Amino acid sequence: MIRAFRISTSIVPVLLTALIIQAGLTLTVAQTQKTRPSADENGPLFNEYRSVKIGMTTEEVRKTLSNPTDKSDEQDFFIFSETESAQVFYDKSHKVFAISVNFLNGARDLPTAKGVFGSDIQPKPDGSVYKMVRYPKAGCWVSFSRTAGDSPLTTVTLQKIE
């Protein structure tokens, strides 16, 4: 047995209006996304740490950040306070290819995901967060990680894409 569904004539204008509104919203969102520059076009928001950037020489870093706590040809380790430390990694030509910064709870300039990426990150059920974004045009990637708990460790890493 075949049943034909009849749509009330009073509901047709409502359905048509809803479809037109939906199509208009979809078009507006698509146009907004096309005209807004992507993060990749601008590069990462976090592109330096205490004026140290990828590509700087070992000498420039040590002049900028002062003497490292531990140093070698491959990396320098800096302790700025009980709540903030950094590692700067060098390639074979003695230029920075990565910077990793650790902040303990209570650090003075504790970074946020929004400050690193321009938007917040949805925490995992345990409260931790992690995100990594590649910026091919800028030639690097950035990651943000915060552990769970009452005294979280926040790590921000900037690394050159090889």
Is 131 within the bounds of a domain? yes
Report if residue 142 sits inside a domain. yes
Residue 116, domain extent = 39-160
Please report how many Cα atoms fall inside a 13 Å half-sphere around the Cα of residue 48, on the Cβ side: 9
Per-residue pLDDT of the chain (162 residues; tens, 9 = 90+): 454 444 444 444 433 343 344 444 333 333 333 333 344 567 899 999 999 999 999 999 999 999 899 999 999 999 999 999 999 999 999 999 999 999 998 898 899 999 999 999 999 999 999 999 999 999 999 999 999 999 999 999 999 998
Residue 60 lies in a domain: yes
Q: Using CA atoms in the order 158, 117, 47, 146, what is the torsion angle rounded to 10 degrees?
A: -40
pLDDT at 41: 61
Within-domain flag for 144: yes
pLDDT of residue 160: 98
**Is residue 30 one of the residues assigned to a domain?**
no
CATH code: domain of residue 49: 2.60.120
- Structural domain count of the chain: 1
Return the CA Rg of the chain.
25
Residue 23 lies in a domain: no
Full-model pTM: 0.75
Decide: 54 and 99 in contact? Cβ < 8 Å.
yes
